[in-house]
Every structure is written in structure tokens, then in C-alpha cells.
Chain A
């Protein structure tokens, strides 16, 4: 008798399991302004956002049972899409959202562990994630992107913009960026290619940095790290004056001039390329530095 009860309970649990992860579909479309603001928040799962030519926001979602509902509202040029979990829970409740927005929209996206993929959105983007990875395509709109541990991939098209990218432990990959870049990570790796940069300010604690950049005339490039290695290949219209200093790392360059000067403590290298119109400053404590102006 006891065995049959246990078996029944087990069968009941097994039959209920698929129901627990069953997904429900969600679809909604609302009118939106051509250059309005679209705000999206999702805790876990995934968010895929793409720009289109219509003046509408379309939301398709696959929601698991942990999701209470998805709120979609549009008013006064502002469209809100919010995944609501029961009791404002912080955990669980996966939603996979596929969202289409007017391509010139300004986008505000917040996730916790949900990964985000953004493409074809030309307006400014403000993206915050905790552990979710973020992949985004940018145009001329400014970008402010912040994660705690999520990795970041940014694909630009060489259109100048202000780019602020911050993460605690995520890696940052940026390709075909342009304009002004300010990026910081503690232990993540920075891999950056810039088509035409006016200014670069980069900092890590232990993460390595790799830059491949074409700088504009009179541009500024500053990078510092405590223990990461710095590898910069940067050319600039009008050249640049450079100052490289490290406490215990090594310095190498492709300039063929005098080698880094070794002081009582630390190494330093300075000089000028071309007209010296721009400025390049690289600093480390123990990381090695490589500098070259051939990209």
C-alpha cells in the first residue's frame, strides 16, 4: 500500500513536471512614434530587439509559468515593455522576447540574467544588465552600456558617437566603433577596434587591453591598468605625442627609435610620431605595454 502511494506520487510529479515548464505565447502590437523612447525590462530569459520601418512596436514573447504577465503600454512617445514576475520576484520567470521597434527609436533596456541582442536601432541606447550578455549594433546614436558580469559585444558602422561601456567582470568586444569611447572593466578583457576615434579613455584593474584604432587629428588616447597587458596599434592623422610608463612591466614599440628608458624604478618611453598633433598616454603597474602606429 505504501509503495503504491509512493508510485502514484512519483507519477503525479512526473506528469506535472512538463506543465511546470510549459510556455505560453504572448503577442501584442502598439503604435509608436518614429523617434520615441522604447523601454524594455526583463529579468531572465532573452530579449531580442530589432529596428524596422513601421511606426509600431511589436512584441512576441514565450513565457514560462513563472511569469505573471507582460505589460506593454505606449503613451506620449514612450513605449514600455515590462515582464512582470509574481510578487516582484527577482528570480525565475523566464521570458524570451522578440521585439520590433521603429528603427530611429531611443532604447532603454534593463535585464538581470536575460541575454540581450539588439540590431538595427539607430537611436541612442542605454543598456543595463547584471549577468546577462549583451550584443548590440550601434549607429550614430550614443551608447551607455553597463553590466556586472555579462559579456559585451558591440558592432558599430564607423559612425561617430559617444560610447560609455562599463562592466565589472565582463569582457568587452567593440568593432568598428567611432567617436568618443570611455570604457572600464575590472577583470574583463577589452578588445576594441575603432574606425575614427576622437578620444579613448580605457581602464582595467587586471584585464588585458587590445586596441586597433585610427584616431582623428588632435585626438586623445589614454589607457591605464594595474596588472593587465596593453597592446595598442593606433595611427592618427597628424600623429601623436606618446608617453608610456610602467612600474615593473616591459615596454615595446614598432618605432625603431630609442628603447624604453629604465629609471631607478620603472620604465618609461616617450616621443612623437608625425606632427605630434594627438596625445597617447599608456600606464601600467606590472602589465606589459606594446605600442605601434601601424594598424
Chain B
């Protein structure tokens, strides 16, 4: 429904080439920019100084959001699962060590994920002990490979936080770790099988 006074545009040619703002905005913008330079003292804006942190926040947020998706997909948590607390996942002052842990933190901040992983790890040694020795050696090597992959990916993400390829591979690796831990857990449960 359109009002009787509205003019209906039928083609792009009817639109004006430019629309002047009702007042000159530049003086205000210029004043705010100068004020920010004066505050920083170095000429760098606070927004730029926070860019590195924001990149990590973005990377962690992306991984966290996908992680929730992973969880939902695994039926580990119900659809009402809380979103990981990103405020805890990224520190205000991001150091290289914290950078490497930021994505990891996005995962482990989900309490259900952390709880389930902790439970699986707690019983892991007993489950491994229940396996024949050659199988135990192979599985231990696989779990070590996962750990190495996680560290390598986190290290690479520290250099290139917004790299979608690395983020995807890290998510895959987290999924594979849980799958492997779950398989080992269920494999040594004679009543269930894997």
C-alpha cells in the first residue's frame, strides 16, 4: 500500500545523481579525528590499536559459532545450548601465547564440551589399558597426532587469525578428537561396542 502523495520510481533514470546532506558534516568529523590523535599521543587511533585483538575476537567468534554447530550436530547439547563466552575467550591485552589459545578457549569455554571432554580424558588411560597392546600403541599415536595437529593449527592461526582454511581444519580436528575419544571410550565397553 502506498500513500497518494508518494511518487513511484519506475526506472533508475528517474533517481537524482547526488543527494546533498542537509548540512556540512566534515567539520565535525575532522574535529573527532583530531581529538583521537591527541588522545593516543602517537598518531595511531585506539581503534587501530585494537585491530589485532578484534581479529582474534572475530576468529574465536567464528570458531565458537561453528563449534556450537558442531555440538548441535553431534547431539551432545540441546539446541538451547549457551553460546561460548567470548569475553573469556579473548583477553583485553592479546599476547602471542594468548593468541594461540584464543580459538581453543572459544571451544573449551562451552561448559558441556569441557565437561564431556574432561570425562573422556579422565577415563582414557583405563580404556587404553583395556585394549590389546598393539592397538593401544596405535591409538596413543593417533591421539598424539591430533594433539600435534591442534598445536600446529593454533600456531598457524596465531600468524593468520582470519584464515578460513585453518579455522575449518581446526574445527575438523576438534571434531575428530571427540570422535576418537568417544570411539575409544565405547570400544572398551563390552556391553555397547563402538
Contact = CB atoms under 8 A, between A and B. Distances in A.
Nearest to A147: B194
A219 interface: no
27 contacts: A89-B190, A91-B130, A112-B187, A149-B131, A149-B134, A149-B138, A149-B142, A166-B179, A166-B183, A168-B139, A168-B179, A169-B139, A184-B176, A186-B146, A187-B141, A205-B142, A205-B145, A224-B168, A224-B172, A226-B153, A246-B165, A247-B163, A266-B165, A284-B169, A285-B156, A285-B165, A285-B166
A113 B152 CA distance: 33
Given A169-B141, A205-B176, A285 B152 contact: yes
A130 B142 contact: no
A265 B135 CA distance: 38
Given A205-B146, A285-B156, 17 more contacts: A88-B190, A128-B193, A146-B194, A148-B139, A148-B183, A148-B187, A148-B194, A168-B142, A186-B142, A186-B176, A187-B138, A224-B172, A227-B149, A247-B160, A248-B156, A283-B168, A285-B152
Interface string A117-154: 00000000000111100000000000000111110000
Interface string B16-55: 0000000000000000000000000000000000000000
A187 B135 contact: no
A245 interface: yes
B193 A266 contact: no
Interface string B120-162: 0000000000111011001101110110110011001001100
Given A130-B187, A205-B146, A247 B176 contact: no
Contact of B169 (A41, A43, A226): A226
A286 B152 contact: yes
Most buried by B among A131, A168, A284: A168
Contact of B142 (A90, A169, A266): A169
Interface of B: 130-132, 134-135, 138-139, 141-143, 145-146, 148-149, 152-153, 156, 159-160, 163, 165-166, 168-169, 172-173, 176, 179-180, 183-184, 187-188, 190-191, 193-194
Interface string A224-260: 1011000000000000000001111000000000000
B183 A283 contact: no
Interface in A68-92: 88-91
Contacts of A170: 138
